[in-house]
Amino acid sequence: MKNRLNAAVVQLTSTQDVAANLRRANALINKAADAGADLVMLPENYGFLGRDVDKLAHAQDADDGPFITPLRDLALQRGLWILAGSLPERGPDTKHTYNTSVLINRQGAVAARYRKIHLFDVDLADGSRLMESASVAPGDTPVVADVEGWRVGLSVCYDLRFPELYRVLSDDGAELLAIPAAFTRHTGKDHWEILLRARAIENLCFVAAAAQFGSHGGGRFSWGKSQIIDPWGVVLAGTSEGEGFALATLDPAVQNNARAQIPCLGHRRLGVVGT
């Protein structure tokens, strides 16, 4: 039986100041490590948060770019796993990046990469318009990675609204769903926690969601409320407003108990309701 896992979610207010963003992320990762974290997760766009088109200037390699190399060094130094929430990986052409989540192991090596599949193209009621696809290319491959014996399903922000992705991750053995995000304040206040808890309950998985918070400049605001949720839908830990982190111990016995009580993953009838 796998061991318990101490997981932390970091909440940031990233802006266009890359050096400041990385400095604050480094400090909070160290604080989470000091508190006993085995795995520390950063939010979406931790290194730069501005207009999507402006991320093109920061397009980089997902293995050894300026956003990821310092985290690889830190993971090795502290001997912990780090999920770099998402960064602008070089895309298929000069006008697009990928929005890529990168998992780093205790040895400082890249263990997995996931390119965000669902892109946020919306006109919100508050007047803001976000067209991620204008400068970001979608990924096409779900990813589940092994972390200390745990199967971790990777996703990013807007993916949260597409339960079929998490069912695919669950089918591939996911026990923990990682959801780094920069959820807008307008939608987050009504939908963020409900969707997180739904993904946990319907897949009987732990959920760890590291979020951006507050004003990023240019009229962009994120909801925050980073959370860690158990397979029964109980919020184990969460952040308050502002930057910080939340830490919780993931106990495999809790998951086993939930799946024994409600064995719905084995009751699916895809031949009847469709695939």
pLDDT in tens, 118-148: 999 988 776 677 899 999 999 999 999 999 9
pLDDT tens, position by position, 71-119 = 999 999 999 999 999 999 999 999 999 999 999 999 999 999 999 999 9
Question: What's the pLDDT score for residue 268?
Answer: 86
Residue 61 DSSP SS3 = coil
- pLDDT, residue 124, reads 73
CA-closest candidate to residue 228, choices 209, 213, 200, 244? 209
Q: Is 116 a catalytic site residue? A: yes
The whole-angstrom separation of Cα 25 and Cα 181 is 15
Kindly indicate the confidence band of residue 241, based on its pLDDT and cuts at 50, 70 and 90. Answer: very high
- Tell me the mean pLDDT in the region 254-275: 85
Q: State yes or no: pLDDT of 9 exceeds 80.
A: yes
User: What's the pLDDT score for residue 1?
Assistant: 63
Q: Which of 44, 132, 175, 243 is catalytic?
A: 44
Catalytic one of 55, 89, 132, 157: 157
Phi, psi angle pair for 113, to nearest 5°: -135, 140
pLDDT attached to residue 273: 57
User: Which residue out of 116, 175, 205, 225 is catalytically annotated?
Assistant: 116
Domain boundaries, the chain: 5-273
What is the secondary structure of 37-104 as a DSSP string?
Answer: -SEEEPPTTSS--S-GGGGGGG-B-TTTSTTTHHHHHHHHHHT-EEEEEEEEEEEEETTEEEEEEEEE
pLDDT per residue as tens digits for the range 11-63: 999 999 999 999 999 999 999 999 999 999 999 999 999 988 899 999 999 99
Mean pLDDT, range 241-259, rounded to an integer? 97
205 catalytic residue (yes or no) = no
Q: Specify the CATH number of the domain 5-273.
A: 3.60.110.10
Q: Give per-residue pLDDT as tens, 159-211.
A: 999 999 999 999 999 999 999 999 999 999 999 999 999 999 999 999 999 99
What is the spatial distance between Cα 49 and Cα 220, in angstroms, rounded to a whole number?
Answer: 9
Number of residues written out for the chain: 275
pLDDT score of 110: 98
Evaluate if residue 272 carries a pLDDT over 90: no
So what's the pLDDT on residue 30?
98
What value, to the nearest 5°, has the Cα angle with vertex 156 and ends 152 and 160?
Answer: 90
Neighbours of 275 (CB within 10 A): 5
Q: CA-CA distances (angstroms) from residue 41 to 30, 86, 135?
A: 12, 10, 25
Q: Indicate the pLDDT class of residue 274, thresholds 50, 70 and 90.
A: low
pLDDT score recorded for residue 129: 78
**CB-CB neighbours of 186 under 10 Å:** 16
